[in-house]
Structure 1
Amino acid sequence: MTDPPERTALYRLYDADDVLLYVGISNNPEARWERHKMFRPWWPDVARNRVEWLPSRDAAFAAEEIAIREEAPRFNGAHNYLLAPFDPETWPQLPGRGGRAEKLAELIRLEITSDRWPPGSRIPNCRALGEATGTGKTVATHAIRILRREGRLTFLHGFGLFVTDPENRLRPHGRRNPAT
């Protein structure tokens, strides 16, 4: 017999002006907030919270992802960025030897210069790009290096690869500043 799913809280933290600061999940929100107090520089701004209990951790994780995308809390990073549109089946195969990294870099450049991948958007990872073009992760990694050297792509540790935003609208938490 399997254990029933564990109820999990989806919580929201707000400042005194009712600005949403953070969305998270936990089986024990009070204990989680104690850790926030120790490690989050924004914690002193928290004035109130709202807690919603969901039937399982999976349900809470799914609700958290939606809440972060739709409500844009100020200090969440995960799920809080624009995804570049990507359909691997529409990307051309780049067969043969030699020059494949530059060819893949050119395909990515076209996505950026056409504004299909706008500044600040997160692009697919090297594995996905390599699989889509039949080049593999190593060639895709080289193509990404080329574009990073050109200043077209920016890597944010823990968040992924983003189209460089010359107006610096990309916030440190991996989301676009809605004010711009």
Structure 2
Amino acid sequence: MRVKRSANILVIRETPGCLWILGVFFAVIGTAFVYGSLGGYTNFDEAPPWVLGLHFFGGICAIAAGYWVLFFAPITTVIIDRNKRMVSIRRKGITGKTDTEFGFDEVGRFDVFEEFDSDGDDVYTLGLVLADERNLTISSLSSPLESDKRDLAFESNQFMGKQMPSYRNADRETEE
């Protein structure tokens, strides 16, 4: 996540480029397998039907996996504007664009949400806790390092005047 800061605007941008490359790779390879199994292979006449069926099924699975990766990895931009007293969350992906805006009074704080990956290990995402205590996950990319997300949450809260700067130091002292 990249952070750009001016006097009255803080912009946090997450661009999951590596995931997009992986998703496109899966989709392209899967398309080649489907195309080949439907008659695109030069030795199509020599291949047994079960091999062609296996290639077709594998290709469809690869296309679905590539689309799934692309679907769940949008560009996420968080704009905190002190002049307008607004927090804007914009997501752009292959399914379109969504914009969500909250006034400073609707935002409780930025926080780090702990989740578990498929192996049961802790992963952390940046999130927003609204004033009515609802949680909204902002980041589509989880990180095994809590400190990366915690620093973003701290900076965002400090920029909005929601939390005192000693918040970060208190966490580090308890870890030692």
TM range (shorter): under 0.3
**Greater relative contact order structure (CA < 8 Å, 6+ sep):** 1
Q: Determine which structure has the larger strand proportion and give its number.
A: 2
Q: Determine which structure has the larger helix proportion and give its number.
A: 2
